[in-house]
Structure 1
């Protein structure tokens, strides 16, 4: 099935709080609706929240990221920073952990360090934070006092390793929206109920993909590969787990008949082809899997579709009824 680009954009805008319908009720709901608030730049999550939450204030986000707040900052998809509600952060962290640890290990090797060195310095980072949160420079200075860590590069990589591993958390304590003051703390101190690493990577990847589809579907496998940064081999098992939920109806290609091709053009959009098939048999039964987003699903006579059917879909159905194989619409 094809959807006009305007219809796709409108559906996503509604989910993200830009449509006429009521949007997310708060920061946690907004972060869930967007599959994580993008935070690669300091201002980005503030701008996102400001444009979608009418009552938003900058202090709301600072409070949400504070110890015991509702959001946690993790580096996840495509190794970029996102803000996630606690209940979803572990999925984003676990599914993409291999990418981040691999990149950190590659940097360490260029400095003559190996995985054991990173584990050791990561442990020492944890020990340095045992007394409470520390600013980045203070944490670095405390770790440099250890006689076994003379190199600044090893200390910095140890701090990064502990954070990327999900053992520590980092937040910006600067009162300015244009300046960063990083403060680190053990994850169990900052967010006692949160554990970022999940033992089942495929299950975490499956849930992460579900978050993406809820936020941005319709989407292709290529979209998922780009957004997550994961490989086809990592995506495929997760999609296999999701398939029963997202494709309740299965059609054997041998039981499909090409019924109509329509060359259509909507105002302000590029031309496109709509291709319609007639299924002679299928397994399963269509149902409304997302009642919060879809008003309903029903069967209609092919020669009497609802009045609000997408215009070029209705035109194609009329032509199918008359036996016409191809047509144009909107030219």
Structure 2
């Protein structure tokens, strides 16, 4: 029997104005208002429940949008920041860069999908698990406290009895299980040098023993804390988890729920009662403005929703903000609504295109901010000749 939606202590009908106020309040909590910018990359990743990292520029531009000042994003490459953030494949089998505590839940709650895929690849290749396990042990022994490029690992371990294919299958399974961790050890946002290290050595504080059930409850509770109000379908879309998994987590959460009916969807949306009370008591809520933001490709603020995308699209067709494969484009957002898109050009400048009606003041502000974003992106750009391939732009 299908699991019922969670009980709610309150049920409210929100009109267009109050929904917009709530949406902008949520964005401001993520650092997307001039008065709420963050001064720490780790704090930004915590507030957003990770930085979407499937495309190389995304983590950097996500931090640029929320950092104070924008060039805070260069701290992504600092050793102290990297000690507290880890990049893992998790929600929807996609790379996210998260603080260690959040990474524990995100990885464990979604590991079964990726581990299953890795094991299927091993079976299709006609390999047995004992061979793969022995290869994983050889990899971890060789790595020790070091991190090495996967080609280096293959070269050092390959032999007539251990072909490169087996090493690659072992690397994949070890990564998905959390035995190995991925590290991009470049100091810029436009290049990747993909290396692997032993997770327990590089991140001794990361708990890889959390069970799936506990992790799912923690992940879904945190999702609604960061992104509520959201519908059940929103949570399923964002996490890649089943409806049953999402509902079970909500039923077991320690928070009490508020059920909201918004103009964004016919389905009810949920948020915790504590967050609703925080919104209701905030003296600045009635301003309802977050102003101008240039958001990243696949920015987490938009990637968190599917059923309620009208909260930021309004009457715009999805094609104005999404590409043909469903990825969120780099968008220009004013008070929480998409007003255009932007892109980084080969001459190291930001160009943009506006999609809706804007005032002269808005257009002037957008033009000025494009210059600010250009300067911030140039700071994290390496001018060394290097061609970005699809494999480097998209980490699978």
Aligned: 1:148 with 2:158: no
Choose from 185, 199, 213 the match for 1:187: 199
Distance 1:17 1:209 in 2: 21
Aligned: 1:124 with 2:129: no
Number of equivalent positions: 265
Aligned: 1:105 with 2:122: no
Output the TM-score relative to the length of structure 1. 0.71
**Residue 126 and residue 289 in structure 1: after superposition, are their counterparts in 2 closer, same or farther (change >3 A)?**
same
2:61–2:73 CA contact under 8 A, matched in 1: no
Distance 2:57 2:201 in 1: 26
**Residue 118 and residue 6 in structure 1: after superposition, are their counterparts in 2 closer, same or farther (change >3 A)?**
farther
Aligned: 1:205 with 2:216: yes
Distance 1:173 1:206 in 2: 32
**Residue 134 and residue 164 in structure 1: after superposition, are their counterparts in 2 closer, same or farther (change >3 A)?**
same
Distance apart, 1:292 and its partner CA = 8.5
Distance 2:276 2:102 in 1: 22
Q: Which residue of structure 1 aligns with residue 257 of structure 2?
A: 247
Output the TM-score relative to the length of structure 2. 0.60
Choose from 176, 181, 184 the match for 1:169: 181
**Residue 38 and residue 177 in structure 1: after superposition, are their counterparts in 2 closer, same or farther (change >3 A)?**
same
Query: Aligned Cα RMSD in Å?
Result: 3.2
Unaligned ranges ≥5, structure 2: 1-11, 289-396
Unaligned ranges ≥5, structure 1: 250-260, 276-286, 298-307, 311-331
Choose from 25, 41, 46 the match for 1:27: 41
Distance 1:122 1:168 in 2: 9
Distance 2:55 2:277 in 1: 32
Q: Which residue of structure 2 aligns with residue 62 of structure 1?
A: 77
1:126–1:162 CA contact under 8 A, matched in 2: no
2:75–2:81 CA contact under 8 A, matched in 1: no
**Residue 80 and residue 70 in structure 1: after superposition, are their counterparts in 2 closer, same or farther (change >3 A)?**
same
Distance 2:174 2:80 in 1: 19
Aligned: 1:42 with 2:72: no
Q: Deviations over 1:173-219 (max 9, x none)?
A: 23442221112111122122222341x32111111112211221111
**Residue 181 and residue 65 in structure 1: after superposition, are their counterparts in 2 closer, same or farther (change >3 A)?**
farther
Distance 2:81 2:195 in 1: 10
Q: Which residue of structure 2 aligns with residue 138 of structure 1?
A: 152
Q: Which residue of structure 2 aligns with residue 236 of structure 1?
A: 247
Distance apart, 1:65 and its partner CA = 7.5
What stretches of structure 1 move > 6 A for 4+ residues in a row?
A: none
Q: Deviations over 1:243-297 (max 9, x none)?
A: x522389xxxxxxxxxxx9xx9xxxx99x99x9xxxxxxxxxxx96238943539
Partner SS for 1:169: strand
Distance 1:173 1:113 in 2: 32
**Residue 123 and residue 109 in structure 1: after superposition, are their counterparts in 2 closer, same or farther (change >3 A)?**
same
Distance apart, 1:20 and its partner CA = 4.5
